[in-house]
Amino acid sequence: VGRLQLRGLTKEFGNGPEKVTAVDAIDLDIEPGEFITLLGPSGCGKTTTLRMIAGFEDPSGGEVVLDGRNMIDIPPNKRPMAMVFQSYALFPHLKVRDNVGYGLKLRRLPATQLNEEVDLALESMNLQQYANRAPNQLSGGQQQRVALARAMVMKPKVLLFDEPLSNLDAKLREQMRLEIRRLQRHLGITSVYVTHDQSEAMSMSDRIVVMNKGQVEQAAPPETIYRHPASVFVADFIGRANFLDVRVISHDGDGRATVEVLGQRVQVPAHPDAASAKDVVLLVRPESLRLVSVGSHGAGDLDGHEGRVVTSVFFGDTVEYEVETEHGKMAAVVADPNVADIHPEGADV
């Protein structure tokens, strides 16, 4: 099936004062067929976690359990897993079809069956017409498709991806996201995908695991991560965030609180910890702010706060503003083209 469990998984590098805890007692239950993304800044331990799952790295502690079986003493090539790398890692001297068939050949699959499986894998990645080329006769995107076909053809229980799209240009990257996800859903293979790109994580994952300094900050579906981040770190790392200092007036203990912010009392969704925490901040996403020109029709009816637009950046579908207010700089994203004529000068927030 492909139920993957990490229990207290830990990796330390070096000794004494040089010791680095790259992965710090991670616990994670990954459901069969689930697409999980490990997301976090460079150096937070994503690759090390993935390499321990694959068996390329021996843990300092903890367990990797697949369908109830501890993998720790099983060498990487005996684990029912396949990995796709950022660098593609194709054999340069082998034709595309021999790259894809390499693992099956090691398994001593009969030639006719091997050819059938390879053809199916090439077809699923739209690579039939490149079957007899060498990897260096392909574009980066095509090479990564070959690497994907080579992983899939092994019918692993777990697919592991380490930033597989980082070498591709933006347009292709977005296309490949969808393609990987479509194929993964179709095959139903449990997948662990490493990236530092939050939009990649948001668009592909059943669940995102946000990592920081070797630990899990939050593991939840993309929408929960975005709307109900468990920490300031998560809120700041996912999307863009404005933080306002607030005073908690009351907290119903059930996910809502009344707070005082900018001289007003408002009801907001609240993290459970916010009831007892000493310092509390309110997260305001840039797209939740509305900009209205000072003095424009209707602005006088608003209970707004004045600010000054210091920068505006036009993205076509949205315009991003930086607004200087008495509470500090705030980011605002506006999708309505009718307000795109607000330029650096002055606007209500």
Shortest distance in whole angstroms from residue 218 CB to ligand ADP: 16
Shortest distance in whole angstroms from residue 197 CB to Mg ion: 12
Work out which of 8, 19, 20, 123 binds ligand ADP, going by CB under 6 A. 20
Pick what 269 binds: ligand ADP, Mg ion, none; C-beta below 5 to 8 Å, kind-dependent. none
Distance (Å, whole) CA 279 – CA 257: 14
Question: 282 near 248, Cβ under 8 Å?
Answer: no
Shortest distance in whole angstroms from residue 47 CB to ligand ADP: 3
Q: Determine, following the binding rule CB under 6 A, whether residue 164 of this chain makes contact with ligand ADP.
A: no
Q: Determine, following the binding rule CB under 6 A, whether residue 59 of this chain makes contact with ligand ADP.
A: no
Q: Give the three-state DSSP class for 316.
A: coil
Pick what 86 binds: ligand ADP, Mg ion, none; C-beta below 5 to 8 Å, kind-dependent. none
Q: Determine, following the binding rule CB under 6 A, whether residue 47 of this chain makes contact with ligand ADP.
A: yes
Non-local (6+) Cβ contacts of 226 within 8 A are 202, 238, 239
- Phi, psi at residue 36, to the nearest 5°? -110, 135
Q: Determine, following the binding rule CB under 6 A, whether residue 15 of this chain makes contact with ligand ADP.
A: no
Within 10 angstroms of residue 43's Cβ, the number of other Cβ atoms is 13
Pick what 22 binds: Mg ion, ligand ADP, none; C-beta below 5 to 8 Å, kind-dependent. ligand ADP
Question: 19 near 12, Cβ under 8 Å?
Answer: yes
Pick what 43 binds: Mg ion, ligand ADP, none; C-beta below 5 to 8 Å, kind-dependent. ligand ADP
- Could you list the residues that contact Mg ion (CB under 5 A)? 47
Distance (Å, whole) CA 151 – CA 161: 10
Angle at 130 between CA 126 and CA 131, to 5 degrees: 100
Binding range to ligand ADP, per CB under 6 A, among 35-43, 243-251, 258-266, 276-284: 35-43
**Token representation of residue 210:** 């946000």
Distance (Å, whole) CA 35 – CA 208: 9
Binding range to ligand ADP, per CB under 6 A, among 46-54, 72-80, 150-158, 218-226: 46-54
Work out which of 9, 24, 28, 46 binds ligand ADP, going by CB under 6 A. 46
Binding range to ligand ADP, per CB under 6 A, among 39-47, 80-88, 164-172, 217-225: 39-47
Pick what 42 binds: ligand ADP, Mg ion, none; C-beta below 5 to 8 Å, kind-dependent. ligand ADP
Rounded to the nearest angstrom, the gap between the alpha carbon of residue 52 and the centroid of all alpha carbons in its chain is: 19
Distance (Å, whole) CA 274 – CA 211: 21
Angle at 195 between CA 86 and CA 77, to 5 degrees: 55
Work out which of 9, 34, 37, 48 binds ligand ADP, going by CB under 6 A. 48
**Of 70, 48, 67, 44, residue with least CA distance to 59:** 48
Shortest distance in whole angstroms from residue 284 CB to Mg ion: 31
Binding range to ligand ADP, per CB under 6 A, among 26-34, 42-50, 110-118, 325-333: 42-50
How, if at all, do strands 69-70 and 306-314 pair? unpaired
Q: Determine, following the binding rule CB under 6 A, whether residue 43 of this chain makes contact with ligand ADP.
A: yes
Q: Determine, following the binding rule CB under 6 A, whether residue 45 of this chain makes contact with ligand ADP.
A: yes
Pick what 13 binds: ligand ADP, Mg ion, none; C-beta below 5 to 8 Å, kind-dependent. ligand ADP
Q: Determine, following the binding rule CB under 6 A, whether residue 13 of this chain makes contact with ligand ADP.
A: yes
Smaller CB distance to ligand ADP: residue 162 or 348?
162
Within 10 angstroms of residue 294's Cβ, the number of other Cβ atoms is 14
Residue 308 to residues 144, 297, 326: CA-CA distances in angstroms? 47, 18, 10
Dihedral class, residue 55 (left if φ above 0, else alpha if ψ from -120 to 50, else beta):
left
Pick what 136 binds: Mg ion, ligand ADP, none; C-beta below 5 to 8 Å, kind-dependent. none
Q: Contact residues for ligand ADP (CB under 6 A)?
A: 13, 20, 22, 40, 42-48
